[in-house]
Amino acid sequence: MAAQEDSPPHGTGRAGATDGASARASRGQRWLARLAFAAAAAAVVVLLLSGALRSIIALVLGFAGLAVGCAAAWWFLANRGVLRWLALVVLVAAPVLVIVAPAPPGAQRWPAAAGRPGRASTPRRRSSGLS
């Protein structure tokens, strides 16, 4: 089968463009793109104003601690001598710092402190209404 030399080549050479379609974005598409950027900026502002930034910082801090812990574990297994024991210290210290660092002053820092006797942990008595 011989190729026909009179016919136009298949495709236009432009990725995503079809025959007769414009490569330029329409005015409505440009405004929708601007609106999408404005919505993304508004979402960031809402996060900042709602106080969720602390949660995001805690999440990033947790991932950073995980990365440092994994690197220290690899370093502990791969090296000998003083560097090995230094890596062990970093491996133990990384999770402790991740737990202690993001807690605000006066907050409960250790899970064991949750079992302290106090007003919130005492059971409430129900009144039967038959006094």
Q: What are the C-alpha distances in Å from 29 to residues 13, 32, 45?
A: 23, 5, 24
73 lies in a domain?
A: yes
14 lies in a domain?
A: no
pTM above the 0.75 mark? no
* pLDDT averaged over every residue in the chain: 74
- Total domains in the fold of the chain: 1
Please tell me the predicted confidence (pLDDT) of residue 77. 92
When pLDDT is cut at 50, 70 and 90, the band that residue 59 belongs to is confident
86 lies in a domain?
A: yes
36 lies in a domain?
A: yes
- Domain of 77, in residue numbers: 27-103
Is 119 a residue whose pLDDT tops 70? no
Alpha-helical regions (H) of 21-52: 27-50
In this structure, are residues 102 and 57 in contact, taking their beta carbons and an 8 Å threshold?
yes
d(CA 101, CA 61): 9
Quick one: average pLDDT of 40-52? Answer: 78
Q: What are the C-alpha distances in Å from 18 to residues 11, 25, 50, 108, 119?
A: 8, 14, 46, 62, 71
Q: At what angle do helices 82-100 and 53-78 cross, to 10 degrees?
A: 160
Please tell me the predicted confidence (pLDDT) of residue 25. 83
64 lies in a domain?
A: yes
Please tell me the predicted confidence (pLDDT) of residue 49. 76
42 lies in a domain?
A: yes
45 lies in a domain?
A: yes
